[in-house]
Structure 1
Amino acid sequence: MSSLIDPDEISHETELVWLEDIDNLDYVRQSLDRLPTRKGRPTYRRDGRLIGWANLAPTAKASRASGTFRRRVFWLLPHDRDSQPDGDYAKGAPSEAVDPRTLEPRVKGYKTERSQGGPPSAAMQELGIELPL
Structure 2
Amino acid sequence: MTVPACRLQPGQLTAETDIVWLLPIDTLDYVRESLDITKRRSGKPPYHGHGRLVGYANLHPSTRATRDSGRYDRRIFWLLPTDRSEDQDSPYTVGAPLEAVDPRTVRPGEPGRLSERAWGGPLPDGTATTAQGPACVNSSKFEGAAGTPSTSPAP
Q: Same fold (TM over 0.5)?
A: yes
Aligned-partner SS, 2:34: strand
Q: Which amino acid aligns with 1:74?
A: F
1:30 to 28, 33, 47: 33
* Residue of structure 2 in register with 1:56 after alignment: 59
What is aligned with 1:18? 21
The Cα of 1:64 is off from its aligned counterpart by 4.0
Identity of paired residues, percent?
A: 49
CA distance in 1, matches of 2:116, 2:133: 7
Unaligned runs of 5+ in 2: 124-131, 135-155
Tell me the CA shift for residue 81 of structure 1. 0.2
Moved over 6 A (4+): none
Amino acid at match of 1:63: T
Scaled by the length of structure 1, what TM-score is found? 0.87
Contact 1:79 1:88 in 2 (8 A): yes
CA distance in 1, matches of 2:23, 2:88: 18
What is the CA distance between 1:83 and its match in structure 2? 1.2
| Secondary structure of the corresponding residue to residue 22 of structure 1 | coil
Residue 86 and residue 42 in structure 1: after superposition, are their counterparts in 2 closer, same or farther (change >3 A)?
A: same
Determine the structure 2 residue equivalent to 1:97.
100
Q: Which structure carries more relative contact order (alpha carbon 8 Å, separation 6+)?
A: 1
The question of 1:111 aligning with 2:81 is answered no
**Structure 1: any 5+ residue segments left out of the alignment?**
121-130
Match of 2:47 in 1: 44
Post-superposition shift, 1:132? Answer: 4.3
Matched residue of 1:31: which SS? strand
More strand by share: 2
Question: Secondary structure at the residue paired with 2:26?
Answer: helix
Instruction: Report deviation, 1:85.
Output: 3.3
> What SS is found at the alignment partner of 2:37?
strand
Greater fraction helix: 1
Amino acid at match of 2:80: L
TM-score norm. by structure 2 comes to: 0.75
| Native 8 Å contact 1:113 1:132 kept in 2 | no
| Count of aligned positions | 123
Separation of aligned partners in 2, 1:6 and 1:37: 21
3-state DSSP of counterpart to 2:11: helix
